[in-house]
Every structure is written in C-alpha cells, then in structure tokens.
C-alpha cells in the first residue's frame, strides 16, 4: 500500500512537472534559449563558462596558467595570507557568470541557486569531505543586512547554501552570523576601500558558538571579488574561537581573466 502511495505520488509529481514544462518550457538560465531540462544552460552558454580547475593556488583557489609545483601558493596568498584556510570557486567571474549571478540576486529567481550549487559542489569537493573527526563541515552563508534581505525577499547565499547542504548532507546555519551594521554596496570600490567597508560588519550571534565548537565551517557566497567580505566574516568567527574555516563561491574575480567587477 505504502509502495502504491509512493508511486502514485511520483506519477502526480511527474505529471505536474510535464504541465509546468508545457506552460513554462525549460529555458537557458543565461540567454533564455529553449533547452531540454530545467535549471541548466544551452550548449553555447556552457561553452562560455570558465571553470576553475587545477593548477590553482591551494589557498586562494586562483587559477595558475601553468603548474608551478604541487604546494606553490599565489603571490597574493604569500603577500596577504587570508584569515581562512582555503577558498574554492566554480567559475571565473566572466560575462556569463555575471549574468547568472545578477539573475540569482536581483531577478527574483532563487531556483537558479540549484544550478549554481551543483557546479559549486563539484568545485569544492575537497572542502566537503568529512574531517579527521568524521564530521561533516557546517555551511554558513554570508548574511545580508536585514533591511536588504527584506527588500530582496531572499538571500542568494542562503539559497546556495541550502542546495549545497542537500547535495552534501551538510547542516546550514543561516543565523550563526549576522551583519551588525549596514554596509554600502562594494561595486566600484578599490580593494582597500572594500576591506574598510566591511571591517567589523559581522558578528557571531550570542550563544551560538558553543553549538559549533570544534566543527569545520565553510562560508558560502555567490561571488568572491577581492575576498574582503569573506575575510571580515572569517575574522568574526575567529573572535569566537572558530579557526577551521574554508570558503566556497559560485564565481571568483580573476584579474586579467575577462575581469568584471
């Protein structure tokens, strides 16, 4: 009986999907061309993506043009060691990635997060493994200030974390960190101005640090530009004694590689 109910529910779901596909045929998340499956890209737009793969800086996740040795770090990571262990991103932030991110952020299309999370899950595979203590890391999305979240209705980083959590069976803690003050948008600011703009903007909510004591944390964001936001958030976590921090983002600004800020 239970089996029958389950298969009955499955066919209702398939029917509902077929109806939806008829009303809203699946479209490329970048250019809206018709495609076979929902939440994906047309072949041309797939070709426009620039996945970040090895060789890369093991700390910042910036791609290297040529391999310079297994543990060689980028000049940026040596000059300015970040307050997190490792950052990984699925894609170079080029035109296609930028369109996808702005649709996710401003286009009221939170379902795009599913597509983005699938790519992030592959790119950050080494971060999502169980630790030595056999525990999964916990995911902490970069919070928006409450006024901005209210206006936008959802936080894109939360949505990305939610789908990543489902893919990797990881806990998501959207309320662990909050913005203690509103910050101006980072667009158009230099690296130094960006760092100053977000310095001290995050705080770990009281009474929550015990909950995750000793756990590994992965900060989730849509785009990493200079890394100032994820660094400020890492520092807030450090203050509460959380030291084991990694970062995953959908895209990453790589200077000189179709730079789009």
The residues binding Zn ion (CB under 5 A) are: 28, 30-31, 33, 42, 45
Closest CA to 90 of 144, 43, 135, 46: 46
Q: How many CB atoms lie within 10 A of CB 105?
A: 19
φ, ψ (nearest 5 deg) of residue 253: -70, 125
Q: How far is the CB of 191 from Zn ion (least distance, A)?
A: 32
Q: How far is the CB of 43 from Zn ion (least distance, A)?
A: 8
Closest CA to 185 of 221, 148, 230: 148
**Between 114 and 240, CB nearer to Zn ion:** 114
Q: Is 74 exposed, middle or buried (0-12, 13-18, 19+ CB in 10 A)?
A: middle
**Between 33 and 125, CB nearer to Zn ion:** 33
**Between 31 and 261, CB nearer to Zn ion:** 31
Q: How far is the CB of 48 from Zn ion (least distance, A)?
A: 8
Tell me which residue has tokens 């789009």: 260
DSSP code per residue over 118-139: HHHHHHTHHHHS--TTSPPPEE
What pairing do the DSSP bridges indicate for beta strands 177-179 and 202-204? antiparallel
**Between 29 and 198, CB nearer to Zn ion:** 29
- Are 254 and 226 within 8 A, CB to CB? no
* Dist CA 62 CA 56 (whole Å): 5
* Dist CA 154 CA 251 (whole Å): 19
Q: How many residues does the chain have?
A: 261
Q: How far is the CB of 33 from Zn ion (least distance, A)?
A: 5
Q: How far is the CB of 102 from Zn ion (least distance, A)?
A: 15
**Between 231 and 251, CB nearer to Zn ion:** 251
Q: How far is the CB of 42 from Zn ion (least distance, A)?
A: 3
Beta bridge partners of 229: none
**Between 42 and 236, CB nearer to Zn ion:** 42
**Between 26 and 55, CB nearer to Zn ion:** 26
Side-by-side strand order, sheet with 217-224: 86-92, 245-252, 217-224, 138-141
Q: How far is the CB of 253 from Zn ion (least distance, A)?
A: 22
């Amino acid at each position: 009986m239970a089996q029958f109910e389950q298969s009955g529910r499955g066919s209702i779901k398939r029917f509902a999907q077929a109806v939806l596909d008829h009303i809203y045929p699946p479209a490329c998340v970048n250019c809206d061309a018709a495609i076979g499956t929902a939440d994906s890209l047309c072949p041309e737009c797939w070709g426009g993506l620039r996945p970040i793969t090895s060789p890369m800086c093991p700390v910042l996740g910036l791609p290297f043009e040529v391999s310079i040795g297994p543990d060689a770090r980028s000049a940026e990571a040596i000059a300015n060691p970040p307050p997190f262990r490792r950052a990984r991103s699925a894609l170079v932030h080029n035109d296609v990635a930028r369109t996808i991110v702005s649709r996710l952020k401003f286009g009221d299309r939170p379902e795009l997060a599913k597509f983005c999370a699938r790519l992030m899950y592959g790119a950050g595979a080494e971060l999502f493994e169980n630790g030595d203590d056999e525990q999964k890391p916990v995911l902490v999305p970069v919070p928006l200030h409450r006024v901005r979240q209210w206006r936008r209705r959802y936080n894109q980083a939360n949505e990305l974390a939610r789908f990543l959590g489902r893919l990797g069976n990881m806990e998501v803690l959207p309320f662990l960190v909050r913005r203690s003050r509103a910050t101006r948008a980072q667009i158009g600011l230099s690296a130094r101005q960006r760092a100053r703009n977000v310095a001290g903007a995050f705080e770990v909510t009281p009474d929550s640090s015990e909950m995750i004591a000793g756990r590994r944390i992965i900060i989730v964001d849509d785009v990493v530009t200079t890394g100032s936001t994820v660094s400020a958030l890492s520092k807030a976590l450090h203050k509460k004694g959380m030291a084991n921090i990694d970062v995953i983002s959908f895209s990453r600004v790589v200077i000189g590689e179709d730079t789009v800020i």
